Amino acid sequence: MKKLHGVKAPHWKNTAELAAVRIPVPPEVVVPMSMHIGAPAKPVVKAGDPVKVGQLIAEAGGFVSAPIHSGVSGKVKKIDDVLLSNGQRGTAVIIETDGEQSVYEGVAPVPVSSKEELIEAVKASGLVGLGGAGFPASVKLMVKDGVKIDYLLVNGAECEPYITSDTRTMLDDAEAVIGGAELVQKYLNIPQTVFGIEDNKKECIRKLEELSRDKSGMSVQALPAMYPQGGEKVLIYNVTGREVPEGKLPADAGCIVMNCTSLAALYKYIRTGMPLVEKCITVDGSAVVNPQNVIAPIGTPIKYLFEFCGGFQKDPEKILYGGPMMGIAVPDTEVPVLKGTNAVLAFDHADAILPEPTACIRCGNCVSHCPMRLAPLEIERAYTLKKPEFLEREKVGLCMECGCCAFGCPAKRPLVHVMKLSKLMLRDYQNAKKLEEEKKAAKAQKAAAENGKEEKKE
């Protein structure tokens, strides 16, 4: 089977051997209503309301959405408009903590005995994809009637440099990972579960092999340590040999892909009733004094994570949510831990400065590295020429913005930025084309109706 392309990115897994440590409860948490794909959640609390750990503070805002629960006990200070990490503004519930971490009385084990009950439990837990995508997990598990799922693929690749929070889940919560996978496999009637783990995580492979050895239909597959091995479509292809068609979902290829930490969170919710309220986060980067894996309530301003890790040895030039390949730069250290936050990295000037791009030399490195077999240099050319029809032809919609093209480019072209902008250009073009077609159809329909009236008169 032909393997998809990628790059040999440095690993720099400085914290892989460090078990996660729980940080002190911060004096205040800021919980955004928009930290998952889909509609923002809607607050169900108001200023002055007392809250406890595990209590619902926001309900799902639509079908593709997820409820949000408090990770602290205290009092709602206010519901405010805040600057989000993506540069937009959105609603957030701000809670003053009391330091007691009193657990909400309604937290109790959740009985599950059917597929429908499992999906309802996943929805109630507030679980979203914890590998970074943030897609509501309950929607992912709602497989259409007639669609056969052959594989549950558990993503344990964690191929981004620096990040080791999933590694710690596989080592410290391996039983919960297995338990979550068993639940999904059983109630969705999936014959095979495969744990895909990069071959440089030998202890994770050993532990999950040991725990899954006597489990029906479960196996562990060691994958080459190559970025972006953890990309959903890449993982599907490299484990099963199947390709996800353009515009389709993994289910259309007979697969469901779930992150290992997502499955652990699901299992814990079923066993205890405690929803998704905290995250294990890798804190690292050249500006950090003492890199560690930490556990913090969702909504914790990231400045408290850095303080717990000794602060900064040099002023950070850039701070990222996530890894250096697909992470996003944040405006300051006031931004909070989100459901999908698996790492916060702070880099000094030497590591953060971007090289000056030079002219494309058409070497083809971007093509040879692209895991989706795209031609980034042609997409960049089409974008520069403002030719959205060429972007459509080059299938820019398949790009997963992994950064392999930019990483391998000797001219240091800002190809990921171009890919993002190209998708927007193509979307606007397709929307405009659709609108024009609808206008033509409406005009033709009107003309036909008028002709019909004239014929009746005659």
DSSP states of 201-268: -HHHHHHHHHHHTTSTTEEEEEE-S-BTTTSHHHHHHHHH---PPTT--GGGGTEEEEEHHHHHHHHH
How large is the average pLDDT for residues 433-456?
85
**pLDDT recorded at residue 160:** 95
- Residue 405: inside a domain: yes
What pLDDT, in 10s, does the model give residues 212-261?
999 999 999 999 999 999 999 999 999 999 999 888 899 999 999 999 99
Give the span between the Cα atoms of 158 and 326, in whole angstroms: 12
In a domain, 371, yes or no: yes
- pLDDT reading at 83 higher than 90: no
Q: Which domain holds residue 379?
A: 365-430
pTM value is 0.93
Q: 30 near 337, Cβ under 8 Å?
A: no
DSSP 102-151: PBPTT-------SHHHHHHHHHHHT-B-TTTT--BHHHHH-PPTTPPP-E
Average pLDDT over the chain reads 94
398 contacts: CB under 8 Å, gap ≥ 6: 246, 372, 374
- 86, 328 contact by CB (below 8 A): yes
Give the model's confidence band at 457: pLDDT under 50 very low, under 70 low, under 90 confident, else very high. Answer: low
Token readout for 189 is: 């009637």
* pLDDT tier at 100, thresholds 50, 70, 90: very high
400 neighbors 360 (Cβ within 8 angstroms): no
What pLDDT score was predicted for residue 369?
A: 95
Q: What is the DSSP string of 178-192?
A: HHHHHHHHHHTT-SE
Tokens read off for 136: 């509501």
pLDDT of 394 higher than 80: yes
DSSP-assigned beta bridge partners for residue 255: 151
Distance CA 95, CA 76 (A): 4
Contact 407, 415 (CB under 8 A): no
Is the confidence at residue 128, as pLDDT, over 70? Answer: yes
Pairing, β 56-59 against β 42-43: antiparallel
Residue 235 lies in a domain: no
Q: Who has greater pLDDT, 448 or 200?
A: 200
* Rounded CA separation 286/153 (Å): 34
Count how many domains the chain has.
Answer: 1
Q: Is residue 82 part of a domain?
A: no
Tell me what pLDDT residue 380 has.
97
Q: How confident is the model at residue 2 (pLDDT cuts 50, 70, 90)?
A: low
**345-349 mean pLDDT:** 97
Query: What is the distance between the alpha carbons of residues 99 and 26, in angstroms, rounded to a whole number?
Result: 8
pLDDT of residue 397 exceeding 70: yes
Question: Any idea which of 2-6, 13-17, 143-147, 293-297 has the lowest mean pLDDT?
Answer: 2-6
pLDDT in tens, 173-198: 999 999 999 999 999 999 999 999 99
In angstroms, the CA 130 to CA 263 distance is 9
Residue 34 lies in a domain: no
Report if residue 382 sits inside a domain. Answer: yes
pLDDT value at position 86? 74
- 452 pLDDT more than 90: no
Share of the chain above pLDDT 70, in %: 97
Greater pLDDT, 347 or 147: 347
Pick left, alpha or beta for residue 27 (phi over 0 → left; psi -120 to 50 → alpha; otherwise beta). Answer: alpha
For residue 372, being part of any structural domain is answered with yes
Domain membership of residue 424 (yes or no) is yes
